[in-house]
């Protein structure tokens, strides 16, 4: 058993000073004094303890990405983000040709089987050319049920989410098929109207991919995907909180509209944890300058270079959220969207002991995954 004492525990709706008990990899209720002192007692000196971060949209870090599908690259990316507090990570793939996606999905299924990642997120290839962002427009295609079924089969139950544009031919049918297969459908990279987006949510989509980015902008006479997502209580909205994708005052507005439905994401690419220079995102060349990642040709934003620890800290310091709200957006809300909230996402007895210890400046001090310090 490990006993974390003198901690500021960030719980749903409150911060409580006290202790946290961990036994056999899980958070447990207060121990019986008759058990004697815990063999692994750690005095945290008043530091914050938040649930381990859950990143449902991340492409890479440390100079590489999940796109290769190799165990070595997957481990390198996942371990980098874990060291920065992300105890549960998805592996997001950008648009690729059919052979590339098959190869990547098959490789990442092994990583998911080993517990390294929580699943695979297909961001594309069924997205709108007019809102393709950092995806190669030459590789985009209309929804293909046959290809989707083949990828699901190769994923062996580990394809957990797919982003698509609801206005494309056959998109709503694919949303329904995804739901039937247990795959979370997300709407994004879209030029859809509000009505078409609502139809996608009615068909079973439950996530808006990086709200505002790569989608029809909000207009007071046509709200587009933004208003459709914010007005639908069934929908989780992703937010890249790096101060580049979305301004702090806009992020503040999103939290005011849907406080318990915002999931902070990184959308991190290979340059995360590295430095300025040129990197690859799928087949697209990306230039990073001052931490801002853009396509070398065209200048579109091409993912981010932040960690979830950065996104969380900015939510408190720049957006002005209470630490409890920021913690929910970084942990419980994405865990709930992925169907993992019974196991992770909050510091509740019975859940996995995935947690992050933060210093007074909200920097990562220590990370615990499944009861083990990382």
Residues of the chain with CATH 3.20.20.140: 53-337
Catalytic residue, candidates 55, 73, 267, 341: 267
Q: How many other C-beta atoms can be found within 10 angstroms of the C-beta atom of residue 247?
A: 13
Check: CB of residue 74 under 8 Å from CB of residue 120: no
Q: Exposed, middle or buried by CB within 10 Å (0-12, 13-18, 19+), for 46?
A: exposed
303 belongs to an annotated ligand binding site:
yes
Does this model's pTM top 0.85? My answer is: yes
| Residue 114: active-site member | no
Q: How many residues in total does the chain contain?
A: 374
302: three-class secondary structure by DSSP: coil
Q: What is the CATH number of domain 2-49+350-373?
A: 2.30.40.10
Residue 245, annotated ligand binder?
yes
Let me know if domain 53-337 sits in CATH 3.40.50.300: no
> Could you tell me which residues are beta bridge partners of residue 294?
287, 301
Segments of the chain assigned to CATH 2.30.40.10: 2-49+350-373
Tens of each residue's pLDDT in the chain, 374 residues:
899 999 999 999 999 999 999 999 999 987 555 555 567 899 999 999 999 999 999 999 999 999 999 999 999 999 999 999 999 999 999 999 999 999 999 999 999 999 999 999 999 999 999 999 999 999 999 999 999 999 999 999 999 999 999 999 999 999 999 999 999 999 999 999 999 999 999 999 999 999 999 999 999 999 999 999 999 999 999 999 999 999 999 999 999 999 999 999 999 999 999 999 999 999 999 999 999 999 998 889 999 999 999 999 999 999 999 999 999 999 999 999 999 999 999 999 999 999 999 999 999 999 999 999 99
59 marked among binding-site residues: no
To the question of whether residue 111 is assigned a binding role by annotation, the answer is no
Give the integer Cα–Cα distance in Å for 279 and 288: 8
- Ligand-binding annotation for 302, yes or no, is yes
| 301 assigned ligand-binding residue | yes
Query: Helices (H), strands (E): how many in the chain?
Result: 10, 21
CA distance 25 to 2: 9
The answer to whether the annotation marks 134 as part of a ligand binding site is yes
């Amino acid at each position: 058993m490990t006993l974390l004492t003198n901690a500021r525990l960030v719980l749903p709706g409150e911060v409580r000073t006290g202790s946290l008990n961990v036994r056999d990899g899980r958070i447990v209720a207060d121990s019986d004094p008759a058990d004697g002192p815990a063999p692994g007692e750690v005095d945290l000196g008043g530091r914050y303890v938040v649930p381990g971060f859950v990143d449902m949209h991340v492409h890479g870090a440390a100079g590489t990405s999940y796109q290769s599908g190799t165990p070595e690259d997957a481990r390198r990316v996942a371990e980098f983000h874990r060291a920065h507090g992300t105890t549960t990570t998805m592996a997001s793939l950008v648009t690729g040709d059919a052979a590339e996606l098959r190869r990547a999905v098959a490789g990442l299924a092994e990583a998911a089987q080993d517990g390294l990642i929580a699943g695979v997120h297909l961001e594309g290839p069924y997205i709108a050319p007019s809102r393709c962002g950092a995806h190669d427009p030459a590789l985009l295609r209309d929804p293909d049920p046959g290809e989707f079924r083949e990828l699901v089969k190769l994923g062996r139950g580990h394809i957990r989410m797919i982003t698509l544009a609801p206005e494309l031919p056959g998109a709503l049918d694919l949303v329904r098929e995804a739901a039937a297969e247990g795959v979370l459908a997300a709407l994004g990279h879209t030029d859809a109207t509000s009505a078409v987006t609502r139809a996608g949510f009615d068909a079973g989509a439950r996530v808006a991919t990086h709200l505002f980015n790569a989608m029809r902008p909000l207009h007071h006479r046509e709200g587009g995907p933004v208003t459709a997502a914010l007005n639908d209580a069934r929908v989780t909205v992703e937010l890249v909180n790096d101060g580049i994708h979305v301004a702090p005052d806009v992020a503040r507005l999103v939290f005011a509209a849907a406080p318990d439905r915002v999931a902070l994401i990184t959308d991190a690419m290979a340059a995360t944890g590295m430095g300025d220079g040129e990197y690859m995102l799928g087949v697209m060349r990306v230039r990073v300058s001052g931490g801002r990642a853009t396509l070398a040709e065209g200048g579109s934003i091409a993912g981010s270079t932040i960690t979830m620890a950065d996104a969380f800290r900015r939510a408190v310091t720049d957006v002005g959220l209470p630490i409890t709200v920021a913690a929910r957006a970084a942990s419980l809300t994405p865990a709930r969207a992925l169907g993992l909230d019974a196991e992770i996402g909050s510091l509740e007895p019975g859940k996995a002991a995935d947690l992050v210890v933060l210093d007074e400046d909200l920097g990562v001090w220590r990370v615990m995954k499944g009861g083990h310090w990382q």
